[in-house]
Structure 1
Amino acid sequence: MYSHAMSTSDKLVEATRELLWDRGYVGTSPRAIQSRAGAGQGSMYHHFSGKQALASAAIERSAEELRAAAEAVLGGPGTAYERVRGYLLRERDVLRGCPVGRLAMDPEIVADETLRAPVEATVGWLRERLAGVVREGVRRGEFGPELDPEAVAAALVAVVQGGYVLARAAGSPAAFDTAVRGALALLGPGREPAAPAGVR
């Protein structure tokens, strides 16, 4: 399943990431991690002290990847509107949901300060990064001066996370696409997104 070039610890972290995404913390058993990673119990406990340590490493990696993917668009070329639009329309596995956002709804992760911390930090980083882009757009006259960058950023994050919920409930990425188009219409009246956001 994983490349032979990957270390055992990387295979264990990747397996844990996927299981957390699909099954949540309770459904991510050490045996399931070992089976998916193709690693024995001895290997797992050689590299990690237990399930919590593995989950922590997995969540940190998911958070790093989400930030990198967002920054590639938000820190890229184009106007503020184009960068926000690019972020909202970037390719996602919509029906699978957000690998970080879904963890915020997992009671075991939310109750564990160590596991919750990277989720909270990543959501906070994303809100601030989006607010910075919106602030830039206001300063350059792309957006009206009445826009509150922090409030807009919070709304955009909510649209993406809520869009995942709508899509999963409907069993179709179209619901996500509709939410994104609505946000873009409010942010830039008269501008149309070029393509739907969901992965088909």
Structure 2
Amino acid sequence: MATQDRLIETMQELLRERGYTGTSPKAVQQRAGVGQGSMYHHFTGKPDLAAAALRRSAEQLRTRAEQRMAGPGTAYERIEGYLLAERESLRGCPVGRMAQDAEVIADPELRAPVHETFEWLCGRLAEIVAEGRAAGEFPADTDPADLAAAVAAVVQGGYVLARAADSPEPFQRAVHGVLAMLRACSATKG
């Protein structure tokens, strides 16, 4: 693996484990097995490396989500596929966790991939809900943006609940709960 990619991947791991504030350039260099000169050859500093790592984490999240949502099936089945995708719920979302880091939120360049990812996710889910509404799968008065935001919030909240309990069960319960609500919404359409 190229040094630049190793640095980005290491920063991704450390951001997920420790957050931005808890990740030092020295920790990145040590875990990546590179010297200070190599790091600063590729990145101007910690913020630049963190921005690259956040952009890569965001891209990976979008790719995995789109694989689930672009498949065949009804709107409900595609949302279900997204919600039931295998996740490391105890580690938290690699992008969502950054929304809880004060330094990331305070820096527009670091915050941008986080915001853009959730904006994309909600938009993509809203498209699927709108397709389902048009097909008669969901009630005509269903607001796609509201339902999409609720689905995204359940996933992110599920991560928080799982981490707090040190168990994947709360995440699974949250996902199954929103799926039950979607089924009920679909059953009462019209």
Normalising by structure 2, what TM-score? 0.96
Please show how residues 13-32 of structure 1 align to structure 2 within 5 Å.
13-32=8-27
Task: Give 1 or 2: higher helix fraction.
Answer: 2
Counterparts of 1:100 and 1:173, CA distance in 2: 18
Give 1:190 deviation, angstroms.
Answer: 9.6
Letter in 2 for 1:24: G
Matching of residues 144-163 of structure 1 within 5 Å: 144-163=139-158
Identity of aligned residues (%): 61
1:171 corresponds in structure 2 to 166
The aligned counterpart of 1:124 is 119
CA apart distance, 1:143 = 1.2
Within the alignment, does 1:78 sit opposite 2:73 as a pair? yes
**Aligned-partner Cα distance in 2 for 1:110–1:37:** 26
Unpaired segments ≥5 residues, structure 2: none
| In structure 1, C-alpha distance between the alignment counterparts of 2:82 and 2:92, rounded to whole Å | 15
Equivalent residue, structure 2, for 1:187: 182
The match for 2:5 is 10
Question: Partner amino acid for 1:18?
Answer: E
Aligned counterpart for 1:33 among listed residues 21, 28, 32: 28
CA deviation after TM superposition for structure 1 residue 189, in Å: 2.5
> Partners of 1:80 and 1:135 in 2: how far apart?
9
Tell me how far apart the structure 1 counterparts of residues 68 and 114 of structure 2 sit (CA, whole Å). 20
Gaps in structure 1 of 5+ consecutive residues: 1-5, 192-200
Measure the CA separation in 2 of the matches of 1:171 and 1:73: 26
